[in-house]
Amino acid sequence: MWLWSSMALAAVSLYLASWWLGRPLAQASASAGHMLPLFIRMLWPWVDVLAPVCRPFMSWRLRQSLEQLLYRADTGPPWTAHHLCALQCILAMLAAGASVLVLRSSVSAASVLACATVSAVLLATWPVQRLRERVRRRKLRMAREFPFLLDMTTLCVEAGLNLHGALRQAARNGPAGPLRDELRHTLSDIRAGVARQQALSHWAERCDLPALHHFVAAIAQADSSGMSLGPVLRAQADQRRSERFLRAEKLALEAPVKLMFPLIFCIFPCSFLIIAFPIAMKFLVLSE
């Protein structure tokens, strides 16, 4: 009893000492870190301290992929690729340490090592999986917003505005969301001197939407061939609208298939029990 109490107090003391030592290094990110979840805020001093240590061990391909993932997930200023790698290392160490403490007295050393390795790998990949899920939800939201934004751009072009003016009106009056924020970023790049087609291509790469890639390609083809943008944008808007309706029909047709599992394994057994119980009781009474 005294041994476990001493270990618990030592762990609490070590946590408080490490938090106090890492607090000054984390003050630079504290203003933006208040939006992080509670669990991440508790680990953030260690993450901020370990991030510079992870930097030399990261290849440029890994750094680029993590930075792209963080940007597409819209995580905000506190997060960098080094912070994400540091969080993965900390979670892996916590998982391995917890597995060793829990299993060291009940199973063999090989089993403890295997469980610690598996738990460390699973918990280390958890932040990346959460970010990918956030990217997926963000892309779905942008895919829902794009047809309306394209319709607004098409109406402005058909009313007499040029493409830049139409995009400005869409960014000003379009629905609030990540797609409008990315469009405003693109317009800022154009005002800063970036070529329009290059800025639009970067917009499509950042959003990673097939419909947006087709839109940018259609604009590039219309500019190179000297075509009028009105009919091109109208055809793009009609196609995007039809694709949205087809996607809604696909989801509606998938709903009965998704309901089969709860229907077979949850509703039907309960219904059979309710129907069969009185019949079974009658048979028991008759048999007596």
Convert the pLDDT of each residue in 159-201 to its tens digit.
888 888 888 888 888 788 888 888 888 888 888 888 888 888 8
Say which CATH number the domain at 238 has. 1.20.81.30
Same domain, 168 and 74: no
Q: Is residue 25 part of a domain?
A: no
Share of the chain above pLDDT 90, in %: 0
Q: What is the pLDDT of residue 288?
A: 65
What Å distances lie between residue 163 and 112, 155, 160, CA to CA?
A: 63, 11, 9
- Is residue 245 located within the same domain as residue 146? yes
Q: Do residues 44 and 29 make contact, with C-beta atoms less than 8 angstroms apart?
A: yes
How does pLDDT run across 131-160, given as a tens digit for each residue? 888 888 888 888 888 888 888 888 888 888
Helices (H), the chain: 2-26, 30-33, 38-54, 60-73, 81-103, 109-158, 163-173, 178-191, 196-207, 210-225, 229-258, 260-262, 268-287
Examine residue 287 and state whether it is found in any structural domain, yes or no.
no
Contacts 24+ apart (CB under 8 A), 176-184: 177/141, 177/142, 177/145, 178/74, 178/138, 178/141, 178/142, 178/145, 178/207, 179/141, 179/142, 179/145, 179/146, 179/149, 179/207, 180/145, 180/149, 182/142, 182/206, 182/207, 183/149
Tell me if 198 is assigned to some domain. yes
Tell me 57's DSSP state: G
Domain boundary among 78, 108, 136: 136
78 and 93 inside one domain: yes
Asked if residue 160 and residue 129 are part of one domain, the reply reads: no
In a domain, 276, yes or no: no
Residues 125 and 212 in one domain: no
Same domain, 126 and 178: no
Examine the pLDDT at 121 and tell me if it is beyond 50.
yes
Quick check: 111 and 128 in contact, CB under 8 A? no
Confidence at residue 238, expressed as pLDDT on a 0 to 100 scale: 81
pLDDT confidence of residue 130? 86
- Whether residues 163 and 238 share a domain: the answer is yes
Do 168 and 224 fall within a single domain? yes
- Answer whether residue 17 is part of any domain: no
- 153 and 253 co-located in one domain: yes
| Domains: count for the chain | 2
239 or 12: which leads in pLDDT: 239
Residue 76 lies in a domain: yes
- Residue 81 inside a domain? The answer is yes
pLDDT at 19: 58
Q: Could you give phi then psi for residue 96, rounded to 5 degrees?
A: -65, -45
Q: What is the pLDDT of residue 73?
A: 81
Mean pLDDT, the chain, whole residue set: 78
Residues 148 and 200 placed together within one structural domain of the fold = yes
Which residue segment(s) compose the domain that 129 sits in?
34-136
For residue 267, being part of any structural domain is answered with no
0.85 cut: is pTM over it? no
pLDDT reported for residue 25: 47
Q: Show which of 136, 156, 181 is a domain's final residue.
A: 136
d(CA 180, CA 76): 17
Shared domain for 129 and 177, answered yes or no, is no
Q: Tell me: do 183 and 102 sit in the same domain.
A: no
